[in-house]
A and B are shown apart, each in its own frame.
Chain A
Amino acid sequence: MKQKLNRWFTGRNLIIGVPFIWLFVFFLLPFIIVAKISLAQAEIAIPPYTVMFEWMDGQLSIIIDFASYIWLTEDAIYVDAYINSIKMAFWSTLLCLLIGYPMAYAIANAPSHKQPLWLLLILLPSWTSFLIRVYAWIGLLKNNGIINNFLLWTGVIDSPIQMMNTNFAVYLGIVYSYLPFMILPLYANLVKHDKSLLEAASDLGARKWTRFLRITFPLSKNGIIAGSMLVFIPVVGEYVIPELLGGSDTIMIGKILWQEFFNNRDWPVASALAAIMVMILIIPITWFHHYEQKSLEDGL
Chain B
Amino acid sequence: MTVAQNPNTNQSPKETLMEIRQVSKTFDDVWAVDDVSLDIHKGEIFALLGASGSGKSTLLRILAGFERPTQGKLLLEGNDMTHLAPYRRPINMMFQSYALFPHMTVEKNIAFGLKQDNMPSGEIADRVTKMLKMVHMEQYANRKPDQLSGGQRQRIALARSLAKQPKLLLLDEPMGALDKKLRTEMQLEVVGILEKVGVTCVMVTHDQEEAMTMATRMAIMDEGKIVQIGSPRDIYESPNSRQTAEFIGSINIFNGSIVDDQEDQLTIDSEDLDTPILVGHGVSTSVESRQVMYAVRPEKTMLTSGRPSQQCNWAEGTVHDIAYLGGHSIYYVKLNRSGKVVQSFLANTERRHEAPTWNDRVYVSWDEFAGVVLNS
Q: What residues of chain A have their CB less than 8 Å away from a CB belonging to chain B?
A: 194, 196-197, 199-207, 210, 214-215, 218-219, 221, 298-300
Contacts and interface: CB of A to CB of B under 8 A. Distances in A.
Contacts of A299: 144, 146-147
The range of chain B's interface size is 20 to 34
B244 interface: no
**5 nearest A-B pairs in the assembled complex, by CB-CB distance:** A204-B113, A205-B116, A200-B99, A196-B99, A202-B86
A218 B91 CA distance: 26
A200 B116 contact: no
B83 to A, nearest CB: 15
A193 to B, nearest CB: 10
Contacts of A221: 103
Given A204-B164, A219-B103, 4 more contacts: A199-B99, A200-B101, A205-B88, A299-B147
Contact of B99 (A197, A206, A207, A214): A197
Q: Which of A200, A207, A300 has the most CB of B within 10 A?
A: A200
Looking at chain A's contact residues, the main secondary structure is: helix
B93 A205 contact: no
Contacts of A199: 64, 66, 86, 95, 99
A204 B112 contact: yes
B102 interface: yes
Nearest to B97: A196
B146 A203 contact: no
B87 interface: yes
Nearest to A221: B103
A92 B4 CA distance: 79
Interface in B120-137: none
Contacts of A210: 116
Interface of B: 64-66, 85-88, 91-93, 95, 97, 99-103, 112-113, 116-117, 144, 146-147, 160-161, 164
Contacts of B101: 197, 200-201, 214-215
Contacts of B85: 202
A196 to B, nearest CB: 4
Contacts of B93: 200, 203
Given A202-B86, A299-B144, A194 B99 contact: yes
Given A299-B146, A299-B147, A206 B116 contact: yes
A298 B100 CA distance: 17
Nearest to B145: A299
B64 A203 contact: yes
Nearest to B92: A203
Contacts of B113: 204-205
